[in-house]
Chain A
Amino acid sequence: MDFLNAIILLLNYIFVPALAYGSQLALGAIFVTLIYGILRFANFATGDMMSFGTMFTILFTWYFQSVGISLGVLPTALLAIPFAIIFMIGYMLLIDKFVFKYYRVNKSPPVQLAMVSIGVMFVTQAVVRIIIGPSDRRFFDGEKFLIKAGEFKEMTGLNEGLAIKSTQVITILVTLILVSTLFWFLNKTKTGKSMRAYSDNEDLALLSGIDPKRIVMITWIIAGILATIGGALYGLDKSFKPFTYFNNMLPIFAAAIVGGIGNPFGAFLGGYVIAFSEILLTYAYRKFFMYVLPESMEPGGLVQLLSTDYKFAVSFSILVIVLLYRPSGIFKGKVL
């Protein structure tokens, strides 16, 4: 029985939250990796682009709520996401046309594009803050829990409860569907294959008649979808605050590089690597050991490897270690 309790404890405090957080990071990391692989620059506006998409989701959610449309138990935001995506894609294409295209056509070095993306970051951040403001916003409605801790305890008779938030389940499901569609698209369709070819060797791809304009446009469209959904899911699960989104850029970068930048599957797994290591290393295992070990051996302290303050630092340290020993990432991406 104690053993079961211990497992439930880990599930409740580590596994489920890490899986949800990892999914959110994974979507962002695929976004970074796609842009890096095909447009060839590190996009420092990642976090703010995600917050831009989320902002539209929130605006549409408010609109739907005001006219009285809802999805019942599901959050209204799910209905708003497709509309937000349209606006987001429009914004992405607009930025590309007025900002990034010039440097791409001129074949500027990647560093210059990265600098330009900082300009885009400033502008996007300003637009988001001017439109919706910098404060913390929750836009979740519908049923909050799938399983409540108390219900779970009653059902199983265990000491430990397992609470599963509906947003966590939605996050994981949506991520799985989105990512599998994306991989199917990249690996099986002609357009996807030409995108990979373009990412692999630009000149060769151009020679074989691939239209670069189309590839770039499709990349931005996919990126817009990923950014909006990733951002909206994060906002649903936690809350929407532009500053947090900006900061999320850092673990997202870490996930993309750990997984091997330019490699979407690596980025997907990288998200979970970062999320799990952050939570595993900063969780206090005291209660877990109380269940597993006999009473005489009970630990005195919290049995915490690192204080939770270092959550971000963990992922960055992993990144530094990976960069040192395997600069191409765990799953071979572009070699530096």
Chain B
Amino acid sequence: MRKNLNVIAAYSIMMGLIILVGIFQSWNIALSIFNLCLISAVMTMGANIQWGYAGLINFGIMGYTALGGLAAVLISVNPVQEAWNAGGWNILFSLFLIIGMVLAVRYVLKKYEKSKIRTYIISTIIILGIIIIRFVSEPGIEAIEEVDPAKTGFLGGLGLPIIFSWIVGALFAGGLAFVIGKVALGLRADYLAIATLLISEIVIAIIKHEDWLTRGVKNVIGLKRPAPYEVNLQQTDWFINLVEKFNFSKLNLISDLAERQAALNQFVIEGSSVFVKLCYSGLFLIVVIILLILTQKALYSPWGRMMRAIRDNEEAANAMGKNVVKQHLLIFVLGSAIVGIAGAMLVTQDGLFTPGSYRPMRYTFLIWVMVIVGGSGNNFGAILGGFVVWFLWIEAAPIGLYLVNLTTAGLDDTHALKVHLIESVPYFRFLMMGIGLLLIMRYRPKGILPEKIEIK
């Protein structure tokens, strides 16, 4: 108990802060911060597995997040029958062609010795393949995109409950990570960082511009929900009764019946949105707890020890007969899959998929700040990092506004400098993140909750 005191203290402070937001701003804001904190925590756990356990640097988090989101779309949206009729066969045929191309390249790679001729053969296969695939898919894509472009214009998904996408998102992200890992894991750390960053940009470019699959920048809105809709809740009796019970004391103060009804309606509207958010919180909390248990188990298992050994001294681990390349690939895939889950969760919560919103600042670098600030190698630290940084990211604007008002209190309200500063309050979050990261890196390089290795 004693040795976990700092963990408990840190989490209590964090919870206290969120509750303070609930009391002073509103419970709606507090809960939406809390939900996004949970999603961020999942992302940081993924990044922490890669960086903290194995020392692998992965700046492609944005790409996996987007793939998770794509999974949510492909699983939950109902299939668009006309689009399938219009161009489904072309797409399926091109898919087979791609698989055939990959198999052909693999066959050549296995069958022939490394030589110039082999390289030429492979590049011919790839170039020819791309040309043929374009010829096959182009009419299909055009036909699909012409099917009611204002509403659909894409193939749609499977029409399953959106919860399944959390698993599928993990599979998608893991699959991509497998390919990237095969290609890039041999690179030195900072090259790996650049390569993954650029590859994630390619993923985003594809998601943004392949309208037949993702609707691209036209966005997919109105995704299914795992939680009830506010409008339905507001008409259900048990919910109204529940709200009435909760606000009993406040309602009792109002004697006039019409006024009381109006107040009750207000409470029901507020309550419904809080209730929906609470449903999400519950779901996300379950995911976070399951992942936390699994990652903790992994960290203290022989496998976790091996990963730390590889991280701390690759050559020595290699000499002890550990397959470093294989383990690196494994952990790269695992971490990315977790990030994929977070991506799907994010889209589930928002109920919409907006490929244009995936930007490296928000989905890659911010997550890294969370991991570093929280404490890499320590799962509790990583989760805490997700909470602290996301909380600051949201609350930076009010804090910034307060500070600006404080420092420019002597100035007139219409003073140019003051107006300018107040306008630029949203950008104080970047400043806060940057300074926070720099300070932590300098004075507490292991993060708020540093990694603790227990030697028994």
Contact = CB atoms under 8 A, between A and B. Distances in A.
Interface of A: 41-42, 44, 99, 102, 109-112, 114-116, 118-127, 129-130, 133-134, 246, 250, 253-254, 257, 307, 309-310, 312-313, 316-317, 319-320, 323-324, 327, 336
B431 A120 contact: no
Interface of B is mostly: helix
Contacts of A102: 442
Contacts, number: 121
B187 A313 contact: no
A130 B428 contact: yes
B201 A118 contact: no
A268 to B, nearest CB: 19
Contact of B193 (A42, A124, A316, A324): A42
Contact of A42 (B183, B190, B421): B190
B286 interface: no
26 contacts: A114-B193, A115-B372, A115-B441, A118-B368, A118-B437, A119-B437, A119-B438, A120-B438, A122-B369, A123-B434, A127-B431, A129-B424, A129-B430, A130-B431, A133-B423, A246-B361, A253-B194, A310-B209, A313-B201, A313-B202, A317-B202, A319-B195, A323-B183, A323-B184, A323-B187, A336-B187
Interface of B: 57, 183-184, 187-191, 193-195, 197-199, 201-202, 205-206, 208-209, 361, 365, 368-369, 372, 421, 423-424, 427-431, 433-435, 437-438, 441-442, 445
Contacts of A309: 205, 208-209
A324 B202 CA distance: 16
Interface of A is mostly: helix
B198 A250 contact: yes
B434 A250 contact: no
Contacts of A320: 183-184, 195, 198-199
Contacts of B421: 130
A127 B424 CA distance: 10
Nearest to B442: A102
Q: Which 7 A-B pairs have the closest CB atoms?
A: A122-B434, A123-B434, A126-B430, A126-B431, A119-B437, A309-B209, A316-B198
B187 A316 contact: no
Contacts of B197: 250, 253
A278 B355 CA distance: 22
Contact of B437 (A122, A250, A312, A317): A122
Nearest to A98: B438
A319 B361 CA distance: 21
A324 B437 CA distance: 33
A130 B190 contact: no
A323 B57 CA distance: 16
Contact of A254 (B198, B208, B365, B369): B198
Contact of B205 (A42, A44, A313, A319): A313
A81 B70 CA distance: 45
A311 to B, nearest CB: 9
B107 to A, nearest CB: 19
Contacts of B199: 316, 320
Given A102-B442, A309-B209, A336-B187, A126 B202 contact: no
A327 B187 contact: yes
